[in-house]
Amino acid sequence: MANALVPTIDAFRVPLDNTTDIAGLDRLLNEGALRPDDVIAVTGKTEGWQQGETSRLDADQAIRRFLLDRGSRLASTIDQVPMVFTTGGIGILTPHIMVYTRTYAEPSNDSAGRLAMGVARSDLIRPEWMATTRIVEANADAVRRAASDAGIDPSAVEYVVGKAYYPSRQDFADARAAGHSIPENDDRVLFRKASGAAGLGVAVAADGLPMPAAEEVGTRFDLWSAKVAISANEWEPVGGAGPQTQLMAFGNKVGAGGRLRVGHAAMTDALDVDALTRALRRAGLDVGPGPLSPEHRARVVAVYVKFGFPVEGRLRGRRQITENPQYGNQVKAALGGMFASVLQDNLVWISASATHQGPAGGGTVAAVVDVS
């Protein structure tokens, strides 16, 4: 008797020649490799490197339009597809997207499991939540829903990639006018609260961390998860009705189909490139130290890096020139070069300013690999 078909996750790497480039997606479609209706999530590195640029939004809208025009799903359904883009295609990093699909196939007999993936969005984030634990609870609930969508327990989540959108300045002004008591926070504090609440939401849902106090969000950095890469921005029109955390949860499930598996590791600091080796090994790729061999390189499908800046401007005790206004981009470019040199590939998703995501001054790494 034939086995029942099971959910099977696949992934496609597509370099971008410009922010609205869908030529690679059209090629996959014409080759019969990709069905738009099978797409459940997209991640991407876009080229923006300065304030005010729109590369995230441009890429998001172009891909949603591709899914709408080439597929049969309603716009309201496509609006719910998580698309997580990070800017800063600097140094040798190449803008690209990773497109994840869910189809059905024979289950694998691999005792280590194969990739299971689920997606979710949080409830709409209210301005008054930003000073409470309600925002952490909303993110934890979204992680649990994504795990359920993947068919795994939240404790089996290996990694979460997402974007935490928070209310606009006008939203905060309107909420205060309606009588809500909300502290005046600058953009850096809002980022830490939103990104940190997402990181702690993963820690609560997937790691069993007790719910932190509201004042610990964005301030108590000894609380963290190694399973998360979520950044934050003021809401922009990227699908959905308003500011939400959109995320995808990765795990390995025995009996799942497909060719992929995922592994993660914590980065101790910005020089800990060996975290990539640890993540690759955890995913099932038996790599040695140093640059990957061509055989191993061919099996790496996606790499995610979330990093934090050195604590108090010191990296392993040595001063960093943080006064340089380009310091953040320079660190990202440096890490891009580090990880690309090991991978022998520059298609790496790298996001800065980890908050409760890996140890302070460190970060997290995840790798999706082909183990077929």
| DSSP classification of residue 257 | B
Sequence-distant (≥ 6) Cβ neighbours of residue 140 within 8 angstroms: 201, 202, 204, 205
Catalytic residue among 163, 193, 253, 332: 163
Q: How far is CA 185 from each of CA 76, 191, 192, 199, rounded to the nearest angstrom?
A: 33, 10, 10, 19
How far apart CA 234 and CA 256 sit, in angstroms, is 36
Task: Tell me if residue 111 is catalytic.
Answer: no
Sequence-distant (≥ 6) Cβ neighbours of residue 29 within 8 angstroms: 35, 36, 70
Task: Tell me if residue 122 is catalytic.
Answer: no
CB atoms closer than 10 angstroms to residue 271: 14
Catalytic residue among 231, 253, 306, 332: 231
| Closest CA relative to residue 149, chosen from 112, 107, 211, 102 | 102
Write the single-letter amino acid at 126: R
Sign of the torsion angle spanned by Cα atoms 207, 210, 216, 221:
negative
Q: Which residues are catalytic?
A: 163, 231
